[in-house]
Amino acid sequence: MFFKENIKLLRKRRNLTQDEVASALELKRSTLSGYENGVGHPNLQTLSLFSEYYGIAIDTLVKVDLKLLSESQLQQLEQGFDSFIKGSQLRVLATTVDQENEENIELVEEKAKAGYGTGFADPEYIRILPTFKMPFLSKQKKYRSFQISGDSMLPIPDKSYVTGEYVADWNDIKNHLAYIILTREDGIVFKVVENRIRLNRKLVLHSLNPLYEPY
């Protein structure tokens, strides 16, 4: 459970004092301090107060270690995008930053793809990946590059590099656009996607090469 760490992190990100937050929530400062130190344990009504105040779902406040989220993920959360509220589990994506604390674009080459299925949330795995910058891309979003393999997406050639923006909510995947997908059986694939999440909780993946059937 990460409630005490999360409410302290969120308060400090807003540059608020304990007195200010306690006043807004109509709590005693000592009570808030107890929650942040793990001495006190809030009831459901109090959890709801924190959830409404920060605009973040109770499940997220309690179950997700927010300090593991990237800056762009935290900003999305603070702007009202919370996948627990939307009904999908939040996936923690490890990331790296440069000396200016700006997020890098990590490059997952062919030789590193095998470990990505378990390593995408592991800071140690992500830390050793090559990184680069594309200054024209938004600093408010997370990007990562992958080396694709095979001929299923011809005319895009084998061994090409594809850079994609991280999509936190599967419901936001748009039909007939190409995405980099991490699958259980095939690992990382680059496909044109048909989104059937709302219909039957599935994504149908299409290749540009007509020799390959959708799956």
Could you tell me if residue 83 is inside a domain?
A: no
Judged against a pLDDT cut of 80, whether residue 195 lies above it is answered with yes
Task: Kindly state whether residue 90 falls inside one of the protein's structural domains.
Answer: no
Position 20 scores a pLDDT of: 96
Which helix H or strand E contains 140, and what residues bound it? none
**Residue type for position 90:** L
Residue 178 resides in a domain: no
Let me know if residue 7 belongs to a domain.
yes
Report pLDDT digits (tens) over 36-47. 999 999 999 999
Nearest to 106 by CA among 74, 133, 124: 133
Q: How confident is the model at residue 82 (pLDDT cuts 50, 70, 90)?
A: low
Q: Is 90 exceeded by the pLDDT of residue 211?
A: yes
Q: pLDDT of 142-172, one tens digit each?
A: 999 999 999 999 999 999 999 999 987 788 8
Q: What percent of the chain has pLDDT over 70?
A: 93
Contacts 24+ apart (CB under 8 A), 47-54: 47/3, 49/25, 50/7, 50/25, 53/21, 53/24, 53/25, 54/7, 54/10, 54/78
Residue 168, classified by CB atoms within 10 Å of its CB into exposed (0-12), middle (13-18) or buried (19+), is buried
Q: Say whether pLDDT at 54 is over 80.
A: yes
Region 11-34 average pLDDT: 95
User: Does residue 22 fall inside a structural domain?
Assistant: yes
Expressed in percent and rounded to 5, the helix, strand and coil fractions of the chain are 40, 20, 45
| 176-181: average pLDDT | 96
Answer with the residue of higher pLDDT: 81 or 78: 78
Would you place residue 13 in the very low, low, confident or very high pLDDT band (cuts 50, 70, 90)?
very high
What residues does 97 pair with on adjacent strands?
103
Q: Is residue 103 part of a domain?
A: no
In angstroms, the CA 195 to CA 57 distance is 25
Q: Is there a domain that residue 40 lies in?
A: yes
* 72 contacts 103 by C-beta, under 8 angstroms: yes
> Are 183 and 189 contacting, i.e. CB atoms less than 8 angstroms apart?
yes
Average pLDDT over residues 11-30: 95
Q: What whole-number distance in Å separates Cα of residue 143 and Cα of residue 107?
A: 10
Q: What percent of the chain has pLDDT over 90?
A: 55
State which residues form the domain around 43: 3-68
The CATH number of whichever domain residue 39 belongs to comes to 1.10.260.40
Whether residue 184 is contained in a domain is answered as no
| 85/78: higher pLDDT | 78
Does this model's pTM top 0.75? My answer is: no
pLDDT of residue 88: 47
Domain count, the chain: 1
Per-residue confidence band for 73, with pLDDT thresholds at 50, 70 and 90 = confident
Mean of per-residue pLDDT scores for the chain: 88
What is the mean predicted confidence (pLDDT) over 73-96?
65
Pinpoint the alpha helices (H) of the chain: 3-13, 18-25, 29-37, 44-54, 58-63, 71-78, 83-86, 116-119, 123-127, 197-200
> 89-128: per-residue pLDDT in tens?
555 677 888 888 788 999 999 888 888 887 887 788 888 9
Q: Determine the 3-state secondary structure of 92 from DSSP.
A: coil
Q: What is the spatial distance between Cα 192 and Cα 157, in angstroms, rounded to a whole number?
A: 15
Q: How far is CA 198 from CA 33, 173, 189, 195, 205, in A?
A: 42, 11, 22, 8, 16
Q: Of 68, 79, 100, whose CA–CA distance to 2 is shortest?
A: 68
84 near 166, Cβ under 8 Å?
no
